[in-house]
Amino acid sequence: MTLLEDIIEQANGATVLVAYWFKHEASRILQRFPQARALNASADFADWNAGRIPVGLIHPASAGHGLNLQTGGHILVWFTTPWSLELYEQTNARLHRQGQTEPVSIIHITTTDTIDARVGRALDGKAATQEALVAAVAAELGQGEPHP
């Protein structure tokens, strides 16, 4: 929790969105930060966007598509990064989207010599493969040159 405490403190009053994967993580975060609130319902999302929630908790599987959270903040902390590139990218896109007025900061809490680093490398590899596939399809359709 120390790293998350430091990040929230360094946010200097800016709201912080925390993505978690396991329910026990959400429970621990909510217990440690009384100002935190899980974003689960439309009222939660409205309060987040109005800046009334200093620390919002979000699960990537329930927040990956369709939510506009960009007016509520610009800092996203991955407490646990998922293996799914789609969930990862879609969750990041909740803040990094049209209408965002601040540069978005995506922060990963990772620990040396743990699965965290392996997950990060796996996501990087998946993203590179996806980009290569999109470039190849675009080139095949005559819409551009493939990228090396």
Is residue 102 located within the same domain as residue 131? no
Is residue 33 located within the same domain as residue 84? yes
Mean pLDDT within 80-106 = 88
Give residue 146's pLDDT band: very low, low, confident or very high (50, 70, 90).
low
**Cα(28)–Cα(36) distance, integer angstroms:** 11
CA 36 to centroid of chain Cα atoms: 16
pLDDT in tens, 41-51: 999 999 999 99
Is residue 69 located within the same domain as residue 28? yes
Is residue 54 located within the same domain as residue 31? yes
pLDDT in tens, 65-77: 678 899 999 999 9
Count: domains in the chain: 2
Q: What is the CATH number of the domain that holds 25?
A: 3.40.50.300
CA atoms lying within 13 Å on the CB side of residue 53: 25
- Would you call 122 helix, strand, or coil by DSSP? helix
Is residue 148 located within the same domain as residue 81? no
Mean pLDDT of the chain: 87
Is residue 12 located within the same domain as residue 78? yes
Is residue 36 located within the same domain as residue 87? yes
Is residue 132 located within the same domain as residue 103? no
Position 56, amino acid: G
Q: What is the DSSP string of 36-101?
A: EEE--SHHHHHHHHTT--SEEEE-HHHHSSS---TTT-SEEEESS--S-HHHHHHHHTTTSSTT--
Is residue 46 located within the same domain as residue 93? yes
pLDDT of 72 reads 93
Is residue 80 located within the same domain as residue 120? no
Is residue 105 located within the same domain as residue 86? yes
Domain span at residue 40?
A: 2-109
What's the token pair of residue 7? 């990040």
Integer CA distances (angstroms), 85 to 8, 46, 144, 147, in order:
25, 27, 24, 20
Is residue 118 located within the same domain as residue 104? no
pLDDT of 105 reads 96
